[in-house]
Chain A
Amino acid sequence: MSRQRRRRLQLFRAAVFIVMGAFFLIPIGSMFEFSTRGNSLTAPRNLDAWQNIVKTPELADAITASLELAAITTIAMLVLLLPTLVWVRLRFPGLKRVMEFICLIPLTVPAIALVVGMVPIYRWLNINLSDSILTLAFAYLILVLPYAFRALDAGLSAIDLKTLSEAARSLGAGWVTVMLRVVVPNMSTAILNASLLAVALVLGEFTFANLLAYENLQVAINYVGLVDAGTSIAVAVASLVFAFALLMILSFFGRRQAPMAKAEEADFQLSQTVGLSGGLIGRAR
């Protein structure tokens, strides 16, 4: 590559980086600026809105509930989906398309239609089991299925699952050992991707919680926004920063593992997730 061409490429990269940075940072910066305004145009800047996040019990409860839901949904998704995908690939490869179709169905059904279908189930759950907000994890599990499936499936495609698992089996490993000591370590990037998608989706979810009459983070932001716009914006900024922090962690892990596993595949998965997460976070707002 000629020097001039390399320089032009560098300039192009810098320009894209600046434009994209501005695209993300200007709205967040503006939101932060808004959240530090006082009650009037002449009032001095303060962090009251940010302090209100912890001072408002409903908000703190909603944040806790959303974080718990994110954790439960992510763990349940991994426990349910990962062994199933591995099992289908190894023992019933003919069912792969069926599995993909089932996992992608939630993507094609509008959230409102899903909720309407779930109302009777949740009515029964509230009466017979529990009315805890954590029961929302069932619904969220369905919601995250398509995204998690895509991320995990890409991870499984990147390794020679059949040979690795058979090698481990021949050395004396049972299926649990194969999963925990061979499969999981070799697709940690994909698992991180799927987990991040699940967390981003749950933290940004509004429709399900609102229509099923639960108060999660987004519903709480909506309520708080009606009486105190500054605090609701502060929470929105905080949740965005939290999501970005998760992305940075993922990026860090992805880069660290790239040379150990297959660098190109790890980068591909990462770019896929970053793109997808950006869209989700945008939609959640």
Chain B
Amino acid sequence: MTTNGSTAERSGVEVRLEDLERRYGTTTALDGLTLTLSPGELVALLGPSGCGKTTALRLLAGLEEADSGRVIIAGKDVTNVPANRRDIGMVFQAYSLFPHMTARQNVEFGLQLHDVDSAERRERAREVLDLVGLAAHANKFAHQMSGGQQQRVALARALAIRPKVLLLDEPLSALDAKVRSRLRDEIRRVQLEVGITTLFVTHDQEEALAIADRVGVMQAGRLEQLGPPTEIYSRPATPFVAEFVGLTNRMQGQVRGGSVEVLGARLPLVDPQVADGPAIALVRPEAVSVTSDGAAQSGPLVGTVIAVAFLGAVSRVTVDLDGTPVLAQMPTSAAADIPAGTRVRLTLRPDPVLIQREEATAVPA
């Protein structure tokens, strides 16, 4: 890697957000958020618009002030330290390169403010531009670069000052799908190479699950669940997390003795300590198997395929089960045998599921 010497020196710092609260008039954007980022860790905050994830990042950056709570970077309370003295690097959702400067000048801007001498400035600008693969574009202005290139220069600019923390505020949302996926991997590669503690804010679950060490799912200013991507996906702590991350089937069932009976199958519960009674089970599409043996023409788990969506290696099959659409995910090669109109039998894999109680009597979506 190109940042050779500097990388070894840096291993990231711990960042703590303690009981942060932020209100805008009567709206509570952050409601007692507590979050700790381990040194060198990449944590993604995921949630719908208005859940408070960007507010959390802006409070950490010092671009907004908290009503209460503390921000601690590397053991130092920086709650009242202005943004320009927090030693953070930030990449924004909107293109933020200074239009009157070239890529190199943009990168050198922060270094100038940190009193780095001219020769070292040039060297460090070359290093970080090389790190993001844009050394050849150093003399281009923002309007001469694509959106992806601009965001990479913005990343280089943020890293050039060797900040303690890197903050990424939906940096990929303005880019098209292909560039987004490539740059997402690039950000992760650079973050791992540099070893910097990083907070990444996004509303795109695929992005968050793909690159984060841990994902924090937020709703209404609160952290619903924080954990590794696999845990968030396979063992969601709340119905909101289950429904927000990945697709979920809502199936009516009956809780009895620590498990739930759905469509004739008995599934274990994530939380077995729930009272017996009717409930809605949240079942992932990949936990639903579809078979078409020709013999299954009737029964409680027999339905009709109404749509097959090709997603590449896998396909998503929608089955009409007595008026309730059920999503199933399967290899595309298998899905090719069950076109729309085929009668199929569903089988539920006994993965632990979450249940929702308050809407138990409602018709499943």
Query: CB within 8 Å of B: which residues of A?
Result: 159-160, 163-164, 166-174, 177, 181-182, 185-186, 259-261
Q: A163 vs B114: C-alpha distance in the bound complex, in angstroms?
A: 21
> Is B240 an interface residue, CB under 8 A from the partner?
no
Q: A259 vs B142: C-alpha distance in the bound complex, in angstroms?
A: 11
Check A172/B84 contact, CB under 8 A, given A166-B63, A186-B99. Answer: yes
Q: What are the residues of chain A within 8 A of B96 when measuring CB–CB?
A: 160, 163-164, 166-167
- Nearest CB of B to A55, in Å: 46
Beyond A163-B95, A170-B167, 11 additional contacts (C-beta under 8 Å) are A163-B92, A166-B90, A167-B96, A167-B98, A168-B98, A169-B82, A169-B84, A170-B61, A171-B109, A173-B84, A173-B109
Q: A256 vs B61: C-alpha distance in the bound complex, in angstroms?
A: 36
Q: What are the residues of chain A within 8 A of B154 when measuring CB–CB?
A: 167
Contact pick for B161, options A166, A171, A177, A260, CB 8 Å: A171
Check A163/B90 contact, CB under 8 A, given A173-B113, A260-B143. Answer: no
| Residue on A nearest B157 in the bound complex, by CB | A171
Is B100's CB under 8 angstroms from A185's CB?
yes
Interchain residue pairs with CB less than 8 A apart (21): A163-B92, A163-B96, A166-B92, A167-B97, A167-B98, A167-B157, A169-B82, A170-B61, A170-B89, A170-B90, A170-B167, A171-B89, A171-B113, A171-B157, A171-B158, A172-B161, A173-B109, A181-B109, A185-B98, A259-B143, A260-B143
Q: A169 vs B161: C-alpha distance in the bound complex, in angstroms?
A: 13
Q: A55 vs B86: C-alpha distance in the bound complex, in angstroms?
A: 63
| Residue on A nearest B101 in the bound complex, by CB | A185
Is A260's CB under 8 angstroms from B99's CB?
yes
Interface 0/1 of B83-122, CB less than 8 Å to A: 1111011101011111110000000011001100000000
Interface 0/1 of B156-197, CB less than 8 Å to A: 011001000001000000000000000000000000000000
- Nearest CB of B to A91, in Å: 11
Q: What are the residues of chain A within 8 A of B100 when measuring CB–CB?
A: 185-186, 260-261
Q: A181 vs B84: C-alpha distance in the bound complex, in angstroms?
A: 15
Q: What are the residues of chain A within 8 A of B94 when measuring CB–CB?
A: 160, 163
Is A182's CB under 8 angstroms from B98's CB?
yes
Q: Which of A167, A173, A181, A260 has the most CB of B within 10 A?
A: A167
Query: Among residues 281 to 314 in chain B, which have CB atoms less than 8 Å away from a CB atom of chain A?
Result: none
Q: What are the residues of chain A within 8 A of B167 when measuring CB–CB?
A: 170
Q: What are the residues of chain B within 8 A of A163 when measuring CB–CB?
A: 92, 94-96
Q: A17 vs B85: C-alpha distance in the bound complex, in angstroms?
A: 55
| Residue on A nearest B58 in the bound complex, by CB | A166
- Nearest CB of A to B64, in Å: 10
- Nearest CB of A to B40, in Å: 20
